[in-house]
Chains A and B, each alone.
Chain A
Amino acid sequence: MSHAVEVRDLRKAYGSTIALDGVDLDVPAGSVIGLLGPNGAGKTTLVRILTTLLRPDAGHARILGLDVATQAGQLRPLIGLAGQSASVDELLTARENLRMVGRLYHLSSRVAERRADALITRFELDEAADRPVKGFSGGMRRRLDLAASLVNEPPVLFLDEPTTGLDPRSRLTLWAAIEDLVEEGTTLLLTTQYLEEADHLADRIVVIDRGQVIAQGTGDALKERVGGQVVDVRVADLAAVEHARSVLSALTHEPPASEGAVLSLATDDGVATLVRAAQKLEAAEIEVTDLAVRRPSLDEVFLTLTAHDDEEPAR
């Protein structure tokens, strides 16, 4: 078994809303997968199915060789989940929360206590450990929720948008904690809307949109895939942007993206495209203030991949 998570043609609909439309996914043991997708892409749905909270309509998913639908009981001790909203008990203290989870994993009270203490120290919750969670900040809650998902030291961990809503400092703290886990060999599937986060934490990024996997690979591979380079054209007059777009659209597969007075062209050969763009703009008498070649940002990769303008997702 080299794959810790194995998903085949997974489908799930809520009434007429199709949340998952045939997802295939493999997560090698010990690796980190970043599941990236816009709102409503189906990330949470996939995570909930993989953590036995939801039954798929069709297809199947195995984790460590166990089927999530039919062998949920055996699987549960082996997985951990920190969901999209921190699911901790508001009225219990941090320590009580962790002990309760330990007891429900059927650890002896001595072991549950020891694990709770260790996790509290690890996630820097010592000072707040015996206060009710009600008064915790968002970052503390997230850390506690992550701690709760680790009580049983699961070999496979799922984190659904672990840093959404956190300030940059809390995010870095959480990233460090996640990196430690990965170091210890935990297989991790995390969803995020932050490309930077996926790029930083994940070995491989899987882009999901409208319930389908539309691309996967390393951050670099995805950049290659969309087009190795980007040519930025800044027009002098904002009113000329549309004119420039129609002039330049013949040069690349994807229509140029624009932001303000800057048009961006994804291309395999930056220099050649730049030269041709300059010629075309000159011929059309569009005044340009800046023209440059650069590597695409991951944001652009993401936006290009999930563009919904045409019926087919970008290929």
Chain B
Amino acid sequence: MTATREAAPQALTRDQSVLTRLRWTASDAAVVTGRNLRHFVRQPQLLLFSTVQPVMFVLLFAFVFDGAIDVPTDDYLQYLLPGIFVQSVAFRAGQTAVGLAEDLDRGVIDRFRTLPMARSAVLAGRTFADLIRNLSIVVLMAGVGLLIGFRFEAGPAMALAAILVVSVFGYALSWVFAYVGLRAKGAEAAQSAGFVVMFPLVFASSVFVPISSMPPWLATFAGASPITHAADAARALSLGTGPALAPTLLSLASTAAVLAVFVPLSVRAYRRAR
């Protein structure tokens, strides 16, 4: 190495201007986001699973249950697909926990912590990469749906809104699972925790069937679930069969509530993690 030190090392310190610190904070988050997006691409089996699995659900549910489930729409596929948007991001959310737990296990977080980077970048970069992944999964599912006969009855602008509402909901779930990943004892534990929590919650919601068809105790639970709120909003925005504003606002509110609880919890867990 040369004896001359190029470009004085830049630390994030208090005496820097707010603007400089903001710039580095954003730059750090972008670097970590890029790293996590590379991870998605470098794990082809995960990529395959996260796309094939919701496609299978669409095909199975749409063809097996068509006619067997009483839904307010003419066609079960019309009811199902907006729910599948939510299901596909919900089942993938556990991956956030696994990724973080692995980073802790393998010392990557330790490496990050010895660097003069913004403390927020690890979680911000991870959840932001998840948001991009969520968006692509939902767009992909919309494409699959269109291929097998699904129609966004309310037009393209509302379709876009549906996709955004679901992605933002998925973003909130990433923070839930960031917390799980930071608190779990190892990646395997994070993995199973993700599945054990999400699987029943998705079924106990309006994702696959209307909650009016559930026994009252379950309907009450499902009615309060942010998953139901997201699915209802996505449905209203996609189908245009009823007013869309109220369910959209409800979903955004419950998404915000999830964020309000889990962002601070995760940030605190990150400070204390192993």
Residues facing A in B98-145 (CB within 8 A) are 106-108, 110-117, 121
Looking across the interface, which residue of chain A has its beta carbon closest to that of B23?
Answer: A106
Partner of A104, one of B14, B106, B110, B117: B117
Q: Assess A92 versus B27: contact at CB under 8 Å? Given A76-B115, A77-B11, A86-B107.
A: no
Is B35 in contact with A100, judged by CB distance below 8 angstroms?
A: yes
Partner of A74, one of B11, B31, B39, B42: B11
Which of B3, B14, B111, B113 has most chain A Cβ within 10 Å? B111
Which of A88, A100, A132 has most chain B Cβ within 10 Å? A100
State whether the Cβ of B45 lies closer than 8 Å to any Cβ in chain A: no
State whether the Cβ of B241 lies closer than 8 Å to any Cβ in chain A: no
Q: Assess A89 versus B13: contact at CB under 8 Å? Given A76-B115, A106-B27.
A: no
Q: Measured between alpha carbons, how far is A212 from B10 in the docked complex, in Å?
A: 36
Q: Assess A89 versus B1: contact at CB under 8 Å? Given A53-B113, A53-B114, A77-B116.
A: no
Partner of A96, one of B12, B24, B38, B116: B38
Is B3 in contact with A89, judged by CB distance below 8 angstroms?
A: no
State whether the Cβ of A182 lies closer than 8 Å to any Cβ in chain B: no
Q: Measured between alpha carbons, how far is A104 from B32 in the docked complex, in Å?
A: 9
A62-96, CB under 8 A of B: which get 1 and which 0? 00000000000110111111010111111110001
Q: Assess A91 versus B111: contact at CB under 8 Å? Given A77-B11, A78-B9, A111-B7.
A: no
Inside 8 A of B13's CB, which chain A residues have their CB? Answer: 73-74
Is B114 in contact with A81, judged by CB distance below 8 angstroms?
A: yes
State whether the Cβ of A108 lies closer than 8 Å to any Cβ in chain B: yes
Partner of A76, one of B1, B42, B116: B116
State whether the Cβ of A184 lies closer than 8 Å to any Cβ in chain B: yes
Q: Assess A76 versus B11: contact at CB under 8 Å? Given A101-B111, A106-B24.
A: yes
Min Cβ gap A130→B in Å is 13
The interface-forming segment of A147-155, A228-236, A243-251 is A147-155
Inside 8 A of A87's CB, which chain B residues have their CB? Answer: 106-108, 110-111
Min Cβ gap B19→A in Å is 14
State whether the Cβ of A118 lies closer than 8 Å to any Cβ in chain B: yes
Is A73 in contact with B108, judged by CB distance below 8 angstroms?
A: no
B30-46, CB under 8 A of A: which get 1 and which 0? 01000100110011000
Min Cβ gap B272→A in Å is 11
Q: Assess A106 versus B38: contact at CB under 8 Å? Given A79-B114, A83-B110, A85-B107.
A: no
Is A105 in contact with B115, judged by CB distance below 8 angstroms?
A: yes
Is A92 in contact with B38, judged by CB distance below 8 angstroms?
A: yes
State whether the Cβ of A193 lies closer than 8 Å to any Cβ in chain B: no
Q: Assess A91 versus B107: contact at CB under 8 Å? Given A77-B116, A104-B28, A118-B1.
A: no
Q: Assess A132 versus B110: contact at CB under 8 Å? Given A74-B11, A106-B9, A150-B1.
A: no
Is B6 in contact with A104, judged by CB distance below 8 angstroms?
A: no
Q: Assess A89 versus B108: contact at CB under 8 Å? Given A53-B114, A76-B114.
A: yes
Looking across the interface, which residue of chain A has its beta carbon closest to that of B102?
Answer: A90
State whether the Cβ of A308 lies closer than 8 Å to any Cβ in chain B: no
Inside 8 A of B38's CB, which chain A residues have their CB? Answer: 91-92, 96
Inside 8 A of B110's CB, which chain A residues have their CB? Answer: 53, 81, 83, 87
Q: Measured between alpha carbons, how far is A251 from B112 in the docked complex, in Å?
A: 55
State whether the Cβ of A122 lies closer than 8 Å to any Cβ in chain B: yes
Min Cβ gap A228→B in Å is 42
Inside 8 A of B108's CB, which chain A residues have their CB? Answer: 87-89
State whether the Cβ of A51 lies closer than 8 Å to any Cβ in chain B: yes
Min Cβ gap A158→B in Å is 9
Q: Assess A108 versus B7: contact at CB under 8 Å? Given A51-B114, A87-B106, A91-B43.
A: yes
Q: Assess A132 versus B42: contact at CB under 8 Å? Given A77-B9, A86-B107, A111-B7.
A: yes
Inside 8 A of A92's CB, which chain B residues have their CB? Answer: 35, 38, 42
Inside 8 A of B24's CB, which chain A residues have their CB? Answer: 106
Interface residues of B (CB under 8 A from A): 1, 3, 5-7, 9-14, 24, 27-28, 31, 35, 38-39, 42-43, 106-108, 110-117, 121
Q: A52-B114, A106-B10 are in contact. List 18 more A-B contacts (CB 8 A).
A: A53-B110, A53-B113, A73-B13, A76-B11, A77-B116, A79-B114, A83-B111, A87-B111, A89-B35, A100-B31, A104-B112, A106-B116, A106-B117, A107-B9, A111-B6, A111-B7, A132-B42, A152-B9
Interface residues of A (CB under 8 A from B): 51-53, 73-74, 76-81, 83, 85-92, 96, 100-101, 103-108, 111, 118, 122, 132, 148, 150, 152-153, 184
**A-B contact list, 15 entries, CB within 8 Å:** A52-B114, A76-B114, A77-B10, A78-B9, A80-B114, A83-B110, A87-B107, A87-B111, A101-B115, A105-B9, A105-B117, A106-B27, A106-B116, A108-B7, A150-B1
